Every structure is written in C-alpha cells, then in structure tokens.
Amino acid sequence: MNTQALDTNPLDIKGLNAQKLSDALKKPPQQLGVTPLFGPIRPKFRLHLYDCVTSTNTVAWDLVNQGCPAGTVVIAQRQEAGRGQWGRPWQSPLGGLYLSLVLQPEVPVERSSQLTLAAAWGLSTSFSNLGLPVQIKWPNDLVVQGRKLGGVLTETRVEGQQITTAVVGVGLNVTNPVPPTGISTAELRQIDSSEALNPLVSLETVAAIALYGLNQGYLYWQSQGAAALLAAYRANLANLGQIVVLDGHQWQVEDVTESGRLRVK
C-alpha cells in the first residue's frame, strides 16, 4: 500500500490546513464515500496547496510541464481566473474547494469525454454513499435537488491520437456564498441536521472526498470499461426524461452515448 506524499507549497494556507487535509486523506475509505470495491486502493496524491492562483488547472499544467507525475494535486483557497465549462468563468471566493488532479490515462482521443463522465460519476457516487444525494446534470454538473453543488472541467494533452495527460478540475461549494441556482454543503447541512452531513462542512474533508471520488471514477472506467461506466453514470443522471431546449426546440432526454453526447427525441 502506498503512503500519502505531502509536497506542500506553502505548508499551511488560511482556510485549508495541510495537516488536517493529510489526516482527512488517511480516514477509512468508507468515511470518504469510497465504494467497497475500491476501498483497498490508496492512491499516492502529491499535494500542492496555494493561497491564491489564477486557476488550479493552469498551475497543474505548469507542474506537468516541470515533470510532475500522475497523482499531482493542486488545491487553492481562491482562484482569480477560474475556468468553467463552455469557456465560462468560475467564480472562486473563499470557502469553496478548487482542486485539480493530474492523470495519465493513455486512451484514444475519441474517449476523452469519458474522463469527465468518470469524474462526475465518481464524485456523485461518493457523496451519495455519504448520505448526500448528489446527481449529475449532463455532462459535468453536480446537483442536489436541481441546484448546482459543483462542476468538473477536464483538459487533455494529446500526442498522435492518444491522450497522454489530463487535468481534471473540480469546483465545489462548501462554505462559500452561492447564487440562488447553486447550493453549498454548508447550506445542505443547515437544511438537514443529520450527523452524517457534519464532515461535509470541512474543506479538508470535502477535498479528501473529492480526491477519492475522482480516483474511484477513474478506476471504475479503467477497470470496468466504458459500457459499465455509462450504465453507472445514467443511474446518477438527473436529466433522463427531462425536457431540454436545443436550438430553440424542445427535446426529451433519452440517454448519454459512449462518446459523451446527449441523445434526445
């Protein structure tokens, strides 16, 4: 079993404590929402913690360019130029989790969208295992009762036709302020006072849940294949049967394909 590597820079940052994060990562896997199948696997995360960055994804790519391997993690307390899906900015005030994980999947480029599906599935499954019913809004949103808890932004480097490196970025609302369409774990804890949700207001614990969640999504995809991942992803999907508006027309969501597209009718 690998031990956790803790490469911190700097050692302690306001709002997210390196030692508490290290302790959270050593919790028993079931306390972090890991399904029993992946419980025995303890990945080696190399943590790089920052007070404020432009984007944790950008910093992760810088570290990749300096030779940092798979398992490199960047977490910042704030981002000044956080990136969201579809080129949108990602507001990143204090109290939120802003995290990026480096992976080296070595898969054909046409499977790149599966990385996002795997990440969203892994995260939603971990939170659901812990009693927080998080669903996926296609392709990359994490929602609770239709309100956005967080999202995933995957960026890839391709050589030839293979993805050689990926940076999977996760933003999650923890104690930060959110708009009416959003929700934070702290707000959920206020609505539902059950003790099971207590750990979810700690930034360090949510970071550990997110890291193991990403890892379990990745392992599930790599070990069980795309078809199994798609089936599991569909089971956590909030959109099935819903009406969406595309190009000014109303469509009913039928499915998500292996290429990561939405099938509508």
Residues that bind ligand BTN (CB under 6 A): 55-57, 79, 82-85, 88, 90, 98-100, 140-141, 151-153, 169-171
Burial class (CB in 10 A: 0-12, 13-18, 19+), 1: exposed
The nearer residue to ligand BTN, 32 or 76, going by C-beta atoms, is 76
Residue pair 206/15 in contact (Cβ under 8 Å)? The answer is: no
How many CB atoms neighbour CB 134 within 10 A?
Answer: 25
Distance separating alpha carbons of residues 199 and 185, to the nearest angstrom: 10
Q: Give the residue nearest to ligand BTN (CB).
A: 151
Q: How far is the CB of 118 from ligand BTN (least distance, A)?
A: 15
Token pair, residue 184, equals 């934070």
Q: How far is the CB of 171 from ligand BTN (least distance, A)?
A: 3
Using alpha carbons, select from 97, 105, 55, 72 the residue that is nearest to residue 217.
105
The nearer residue to ligand BTN, 26 or 88, going by C-beta atoms, is 88
DSSP letter at 145? Answer: T
Q: How far is the CB of 34 from ligand BTN (least distance, A)?
A: 21
Q: How far is the CB of 62 from ligand BTN (least distance, A)?
A: 13
The nearer residue to ligand BTN, 18 or 97, going by C-beta atoms, is 97
Length of the chain in terms of residues written: 265
The nearer residue to ligand BTN, 169 or 199, going by C-beta atoms, is 169
Residue 188: strand pairing partners: none
Q: How far is the CB of 208 from ligand BTN (least distance, A)?
A: 16
Using alpha carbons, select from 193, 169, 66 the residue that is nearest to residue 115.
169
Q: How far is the CB of 87 from ligand BTN (least distance, A)?
A: 9
Q: How far is the CB of 204 from ligand BTN (least distance, A)?
A: 16
The nearer residue to ligand BTN, 29 or 64, going by C-beta atoms, is 64
One-letter amino acid identity for 95?
Answer: G
Half-sphere exposure of 243 (CA within 13 A, CB side): 3
The nearer residue to ligand BTN, 29 or 167, going by C-beta atoms, is 167
DSSP letter at 249? Answer: E
The nearer residue to ligand BTN, 124 or 140, going by C-beta atoms, is 140
In the numeric block, the tokens 């009416």 are attached to 180
**Residues with Cβ within 8 Å of residue 261, at least 6 apart in sequence:** 113
